[in-house]
Amino acid sequence: MTGLGAELPPMADGLCYEPTLPLPYYSDGTVTLYHSRMQDVVPLLDRVDCIVTDPPYGETSLAWDRWPSGWPALVAPLTSSMWCFGSMRMFLDRRDEFAGWKFAQDIVWEKHNGAGPGQPDRFYRVHEHAAHWYLGAWGSLHTGQLRLTHVGPLRASTHNRAGTPHRGSMPAVDWHDDGLRAVRSVLRVHAMHGHALHPTEKPTGILEPLIAYACPPGGTVLDVFAGSGSTLDAARRLGRKAIGIEASEEYAEVIATRLSQGSLQFGEEQEIEKTAGAELLVGGRVTRLADRDEVAPSVGLFPTLEVPDR
Query: At CA 6, angle to CA 9 and CA 99, rounded to 5?
Result: 155
Q: How many residues are there in the chain?
A: 310
Among the ranges given (66-80, 223-237, 252-266), the one the predictor scored with the smallest mean pLDDT? 252-266
- Provide the edge-to-edge strand list for the sheet that holds 102-110: 26-27, 31-35, 241-246, 220-223, 50-53, 81-86, 127-134, 102-110, 186-188
Confidence (pLDDT) at 115: 64
- The pLDDT tens digits for 86-102 are 999 999 999 999 999 99
pLDDT over threshold 60, residue 62: yes
pTM, full prediction: 0.76
pLDDT digits (tens, 9 = 90+) for 234-292: 999 999 999 999 999 999 999 999 999 875 443 343 433 333 333 333 333 333 333 33
The pLDDT tens digits for 136-193 are 999 999 998 787 777 667 676 666 655 556 656 667 667 677 778 888 899 998 877 6
Query: What domains lie within the chain, and their CATH numbers?
Result: 26-116+124-143+184-274 (3.40.50.150)
- Predicted confidence band at 19 (pLDDT cuts at 50, 70, 90)? confident
Q: How many CA atoms lie within 13 A of 204 on its CB side?
A: 27
Closest of 258, 193, 271, 253 to residue 231, by C-alpha: 258
